[in-house]
Structure formats: structure tokens, C-alpha cells
Chains A and B, each alone.
Chain A
Amino acid sequence: AQSVAQPEDQVNVAEGNPLTVKCTYSVSGNPYLFWYVQYPNRGLQFLLKYITGDNLVKGSYGFEAEFNKSQTSFHLKKPSALVSDSALYFCAVRDKVYGGATNKLIFGTGTLLAVQP
């Protein structure tokens, strides 16, 4: 079964410093990976995806993610954190159930990013 793991419940970083939010995956075959962000009392906002191609994926709001097949990781990164980046971040993988749902996402448990001014 497909799954993703986010090993850190919370990540603290000072404004202006680089940030990394970790995600590892377990899938059969090639993974389709996603990052979403959730602000308080809001739905999820799509940040970026990896389907195929370059291992470094660029997304919204200056975020990027690096796909590493050998380490089965898809870490989210940003060169310089902003206080407004403080939110809950979810990594997700598309579940491959042939003949069934084509867009089912399996989410990690989330990582709370806190950026201090």
C-alpha cells in the first residue's frame, strides 16, 4: 500500500533562514507526489507536484521540492523563510488503484512550520 511519512510534527526556523520540511514515501512503481499547505480554519492549497522529469520541482510562493528516488524522499524547501509561511504542511501521494479512484490522495500526518521573526 502507498504511504507517506512526515517525521517531524513541528519545524521551527527564523525568518530569512532556509527551511526544509521532510517527507518520505513508500510506493510500488513510480510515485506521484504532492505538497499542500493549510492555514488555520482553511482548506488545503496546492503547492507543487512531482509526476516525472526533473528531480527539482518548483512551486507556488517560492517553494520547491527535491525528489530523491534512492532515499525515497520528497522534501519541501524554501531558500528564505517568511513569517507568513507559518502553517501546516502536508505531503501526499496519489494512490494507484487501477480501475478505481484515479485521484485518491494519501496524506501524511502534517508538519507545523513556525517561522519566528
Chain B
Amino acid sequence: ETGVTQSPTHLIKTRGQQVTLRCSSQSGHNTVSWYQQALGQGPQFIFQYYREEENGRGNFPPRFSGLQFPNYSSELNVNALELDDSALYLCASSPPLGTSGTYEQYFGPGTRLTVT
């Protein structure tokens, strides 16, 4: 069983640029969530995708957007990067409700984004 994978591992961008982060969900999981973890803090929920639609969003501006594809993989896009966007971005996938592991989220290793 393949776990959640994310790419790239590390990324350095300049303020004002745009970035795309990618996530492949664990086999059998149909829901993907994205979290931002700033240094020394707990993860903060960005949004969740289910059936290729966003169905929940945290307190993040519209320049944070995403996609989910038919194979349940997902992308996180951030436009007009700011210095404060520097963080570890975590993707998590979840199995369908009613199956083993309901409500559990399984995290990928993350993408470390540095904005200079």
C-alpha cells in the first residue's frame, strides 16, 4: 500500500511569484486536505477536496487555491507569494466515510517552501 506522497520536497521562491505543490493520496482514499505548518506551530487547515470540489476552507486568502483530479491526487497553488508563506505544506488523505479508518487522516512528508 503506497502512502501519501508530495512533490517537490523543497522549494525556494521569490516574493510575488506563484507556486504549485503536488500530492498523491493513499490508495483507496478519496478526500485530500492541505495544511500549512509554520515553524514552531501546529498545522493550520487550508482546505479540503472531495469529489474534485473544495468542500471546506480555513482562514486563508483566495490566492491559495487547489484542484483535485479524478484519481484523487491534488494540487495546491499559491499566487503572489509573501514572506509569511514560508512554511511546511502538508497534504493528508482520508478514506471514505464508513470504511476502516474513518475520520483518520494520513499525512505526506510535506513540501518545505521558502519565500525570499
Contact = CB atoms under 8 A, between A and B. Distances in A.
Partners in one complex: yes
Interface of A: 32, 34, 36, 41-46, 49, 51, 90, 92, 94-95, 97, 100-110
Interface string B1-33: 000101000000000000000000000000101
Contact of A107 (B42, B94, B106): B42
A105 B105 contact: yes
A47 to B, nearest CB: 10
B66 interface: no
Contacts of A36: 107
Contacts of B48: 101-104
Contacts of A90: 42-43
Q: Which 8 interchain pairs have the tightest Cβ spacing? A: A101-B56, A107-B42, A43-B107, A44-B107, A100-B56, A43-B109, A101-B48, A104-B45
Interface of B: 4, 6, 31, 33, 35, 41-45, 47-48, 50, 55-58, 90, 92, 94, 97, 102-110, 112
Given A44-B90, A103-B94, A104-B33, A109 B42 contact: yes
From DSSP, what is the main secondary structure of chain A's interface residues? loop
A45 B33 contact: no
Contacts of B106: 46
A107 B43 contact: yes
